[in-house]
Amino acid sequence: MSLAFQYHQKKSFMHGIDPVTKIIWMMCISILVFIYESAVPQLLLFVTVLGTALILANLGLLFVLRGIWIMLLFSIGFFILQVLLVPGETVLYSLGPVNIYSESLDFALAITIRILTIFTSSLVFVATSDPRDIVISLTQKLKVPYRYAYSIFVALRFVPTLEQEAKIIEAAQTIRGVGKQKGVKYKMENMKRFSLPLLMGAVRRVRVTANTMEAKGYGAYSDRTYIRTIQYSSKGIAFLFAWMALTLYLLVMKIL
């Protein structure tokens, strides 16, 4: 996982709108990517989401690539499998006994781009939304119990923290001359030497967090007070209604 997949404080359009608006935006994206099964509409949706990340969220192309590179590698392997295994009727290429069909190529491209679109929209949401604002928005606007909303906050805050601790452990082992050894038989040894300190650090962090929550009486009451509130902005409302109208229009056109 990349450190890009966490909140980054910047000034942009997406940073300035509330998390609930961005959640509904992701829902609109999810609806649109699943109503189309061909590659061209999926590509247009991906370009739109990528443009949102680059222009409206001011994230940068390299930043986006660092955030989705693991899913990109997975998508390439998934694409190859779909091209080879999905049957079709129109033969495009023949590689010996293996035929590549036009229908299977289009289906594989559509599914692959769909995965990247959903993952990129999630990256935009995480990178432009303060975890504290997400919790407050879920509890104040969507009336989600704050104990459940806090679990999302913990996930968004702990994953980058654990990744940073992993880099520290790796650097410490390298300084002590215990770097990663190459070869298949050393894989398990490297994983054990690296994962145990990381696991122990995670357990200590979870224990401290649990003790802190218990000392503050977290969860003792059905509701809680807040220092600040999250308000809907006019630009966020306009952005939301534009995407909802577009989604509804394309959904109706698809059904008809």
Say whether both 45 and 153 belong to one domain. no
> What backbone phi and psi angles, to 5 degrees, belong to 93?
-135, 155
> What backbone phi and psi angles, to 5 degrees, belong to 95?
-110, 80
The sign one gets for the Cα dihedral 144, 148, 154, 156 is negative
β-bridge pairing 91-95 and 98-101: antiparallel
Say whether both 72 and 156 belong to one domain. no
Give Cα separations from 97 to 78, 88, 104, 106 (angstroms). 21, 15, 16, 21
Q: Does residue 122 lie within any of the structural domains?
A: yes
Say whether both 75 and 120 belong to one domain. yes
Query: What is the Cα–Cα distance from 76 to 71, expressed in whole angstroms?
Result: 9
Q: Does residue 76 lie within any of the structural domains?
A: yes
Say whether both 177 and 60 belong to one domain. no
Determine contact, residues 121/1, Cβ cutoff 8 Å: no
Phi and psi based region of residue 183 (left: phi greater than 0; alpha: psi -120 to 50; beta: remaining): left
What count of other Cβ atoms lies within 10 Å of the Cβ of residue 29? 24
Say whether both 46 and 70 belong to one domain. yes
Say whether both 44 and 121 belong to one domain. yes
Query: What is the Cα–Cα distance from 38 to 216, expressed in whole angstroms?
Result: 53
**pTM of the predicted model over 0.85:** no
Encode 99-122 in three state secondary structure.
EEEHHHHHHHHHHHHHHHHHHHHH
Say whether both 41 and 123 belong to one domain. yes
Say whether both 149 and 205 belong to one domain. yes
Q: Does residue 107 lie within any of the structural domains?
A: yes
* 182 sits in which H/E element: none
Say whether both 126 and 241 belong to one domain. yes
State which residues form the domain around 48.
Answer: 19-132+231-255
Question: DSSP string of 61-97?
Answer: HHHHHHHHHHHHHHHHHHHHHHHHHS--SSEEEEETT
Say whether both 128 and 151 belong to one domain. no
Determine contact, residues 126/156, Cβ cutoff 8 Å: yes
Say whether both 68 and 111 belong to one domain. yes
* 253 sits in which H/E element: helix 234-255
- In order along its 256 residues, the chain shows pLDDT tens digits of 455 667 888 899 999 999 999 999 999 999 999 999 889 999 999 999 999 999 999 998 999 988 888 888 888 888 888 888 888 788 877 777 778 888 888 899 999 999 999 999 999 998 999 888 888 888 888 888 877 777 777 777 776 677 777 777 777 777 777 656 665 566 666 677 777 777 777 778 778 877 877 787 777 777 777 777 888 889 999 999 999 999 999 999 988 7
Say whether both 43 and 124 belong to one domain. yes
**Total of domains in the chain:** 2
Strand partners, 98: 95
